[in-house]
Amino acid sequence: MSEDRATDAARSTLRDLWSDLGGGAELVEEVAISGPAEVLSSIYDVTGFATATVGAAALATAELVAARTGTDRPGVAVDRLDASASFRLDALLRADGWALPPTLSLI
């Protein structure tokens, strides 16, 4: 998937998430999205979903900062690699001096 297509897909998901939260669509267009198009391997666009959810959280935070300080809303930028890392944090960190509990599987 090209970076432009990946950005469009992530922005579309972000637009849906932000709209569901009651946010204005115009703010979504101001979010800067960068980084490699595909980071997380899947038949689904997990990289785009990670980017959109981090973008929605960052937009909400920017709105909160503006409301609390009475200043302009800070800009929001999401890097797909960083957003994807937040989804895979469990694989990036290791327990030191203790063991992770077993994963619960109901299947």
Alpha carbon distance 14, 19 (integer Å): 8
Q: Per-residue pLDDT tens for 53-104?
A: 999 999 999 999 999 999 999 999 999 999 998 887 766 667 677 876 777 7
Q: Per-residue pLDDT tens for 8-27?
A: 999 999 999 999 999 988 89
Task: State the average pLDDT for the chain.
Answer: 88
Sorted by sequence, the CB contacts under 8 Å of residue 93 that are 6+ apart come out as none
| pLDDT on residue 80 | 93
Q: What is the pTM of this model?
A: 0.80
| pLDDT on residue 58 | 96
